[in-house]
Amino acid sequence: MTEYRIESDSLGEVKVPKDALYGAQTVRAQHNFHITGQTVHPAMIQSLAYVKKASALANYEVGELTEEVAKVIMQAADEIIAGDHLEEFATDAIQGGAGTSINMNMNEVLANRAAQLLDEPLGTYQTVHPNDHVNRAQSTNDVIPTGGKLTILFLSEALIDAMDQLAVSLEAKAEEYRDVTKVGRTHLQDAVIITFGQVFQSFATMIRRDIRRIQHALEEMHTINMGATAVGTEINTTPGYKERVAKYLAEYTGFDFETAEDLVDGTKHIDGFVYVSSALKSFAASLSRMCNDMRLMASGPKVGLNEITIPQKQPGSSIMPGKVNPVIFEVTNQACFHVIGNDLTITLASEAGQMELNVFEPVLFYNLFQSIDYLTNACTTLRVNGIEGLTVNEHQASEYVRQSFALATAVSPQLGYSKVSSLTKQAMKENRPFVDVLIDEGIMTEAELKEAFPAYFPTN
């Protein structure tokens, strides 16, 4: 049977599990917010601990905290940064209050862990109080967006790395098949000749462009509003505090940070997060589009294109024996769909802000963190289970080249558009390769064609 201690807040007494490091406001949030069934992202917890550690030191240096209090808060924060006490962060990720319950959950855990380190009873807050000390010179309205920005930077490191590795894998395929020709298609109709190397390289180029876009958007995450407190007026802060917070947060995390020049703007407007989400959405759209192409090229194996063979990972049907589906490319599509949907939520959350604050950061961060994680996992899954084992069916591709009318475009400047159009119609009517019509009609010999247009006579 659970034992409880009694704590009080401005609304009255609250029963808190006896050994819990969290306190009254966390318990209230547990009772009030049952939305996702998921707690705050662990990286956000770590980021908030960094923020509290930097704030404690800054407050000590400007004379707002004693050395004893600052040190014990920092020690408790270091434990959370190291991955300890994560079970104490128990609020739902989506909640009302602009993230106040998330902030207070952190304040309470740090205060109670400090109490343990000082051999004081939990929940009494004799030396370290959640509001008076841990949250000194702070508000949810500067702590939560700053923690969110740091979390995005942490999570994006893995995303950029996963994107880079996927691009490297595609570049390897481009080199492996650089001289293998295929029929290019526009409007899903036969067009002109292209190489598999060019196709795979185009995908890698696209990914590297999206890396640059995301990195550019992430630059806005380095400007923070710590010291703004409630609405950006710096109420309840001491001169020198905000500069020190940015300085120490940078030292602790390895990321550069600067304080926003306009703290009112930095507190009420969260468009920078929309910018990051937009870059993620752009990548998701491109990645999904690439998977569409891969699924089409792998269609078959007998009556589809069958230009590539992708790794067989799972039986494809509960009723059709032997069927194998492109599941890795399909799951990547679905991850991308989710990210694109998340972007709409993030956009609406940003738009819905009112007056001096946007209170919808919890849902914004829940979706934004999820988008970064989904794309990171999708890139890794796609690379390991889809791209690295992909092979080109060179014989099938060369047969398509031979049977196609792609050569028509190449000979058009020499023979004239109208003449070639007539020959193309003849080839289609007679169901013959275009090259055979050219040769049989005595227009060009096979030797002349091979010399002039070697790519259209593949040795695949």
Mean pLDDT per block of 10 residues along the chain (460 residues) reads: 91 95 96 96 98 98 98 98 97 96 98 98 97 98 98 98 98 97 94 96 98 98 98 97 98 98 97 98 98 97 95 87 92 98 98 95 98 98 97 95 88 90 90 88 86 76
CATH 1.10.275.10 domain range(s) in the chain: 4-136
CATH C-level class of 404-456: mainly alpha
Active site includes 317?
yes
What is the per-residue pLDDT for 459?
64
CATH 1.10.40 domain range(s) in the chain: 404-456
**Residues 406-453: tens digit of each pLDDT:** 888 888 998 899 998 998 999 889 998 888 988 888 888 889 888 888
What is the per-residue pLDDT for 441?
86
**Residues 130-188: tens digit of each pLDDT:** 999 999 999 999 999 999 999 999 999 999 999 999 999 999 999 999 999 999 999 99
**Helix/strand/coil (H/E/C) assignment for every residue in the chain:** CCCEEEEEECCEEEEEECCCCCCHHHHHHHHHCCCCCCECCHHHHHHHHHHHHHHHHHHHHCCCCCHHHHHHHHHHHHHHHCCCCHHHCCCECCCCCCCHHHHHHHHHHHHHHHHHHCCCCCCCCCCCCHHHHHCCCCCHHHHHHHHHHHHHHHHHHHHHHHHHHHHHHHHHHHHHCCCCEEEEEECCEEEEEEEHHHHHHHHHHHHHHHHHHHHHHHHHHHEECCCCCCCCCCCCCCCCHHHHHHHHHHHHHCCCCEECCCHHHHHHCCHHHHHHHHHHHHHHHHHHHHHHHHHHHCCCCCCCCCCEECCCCCECCCCCCCCECCHHHHHHHHHHHHHHHHHHHHHHHHHCCECCECCCHHHHHHHHHHHHHHHHHHHHHHHHHHHCCCEECHHHHHHHHHHCCCHHHHHHHHHCHHHHHHHHHHHHHHCCCHHHHHHHCCCCCHHHHHHHCHHHCCCC
State the CATH architecture for 142-229+261-394.
Up-down Bundle (1.20)
Is the domain 4-136 a CATH 3.40.50.2300 member?
no
Does pTM surpass 0.75?
Answer: yes
CATH 1.20.200.10 domain range(s) in the chain: 142-229+261-394
Q: Which residue out of 278, 288, 317, 418 is catalytically annotated?
A: 317
What is the per-residue pLDDT for 166?
98
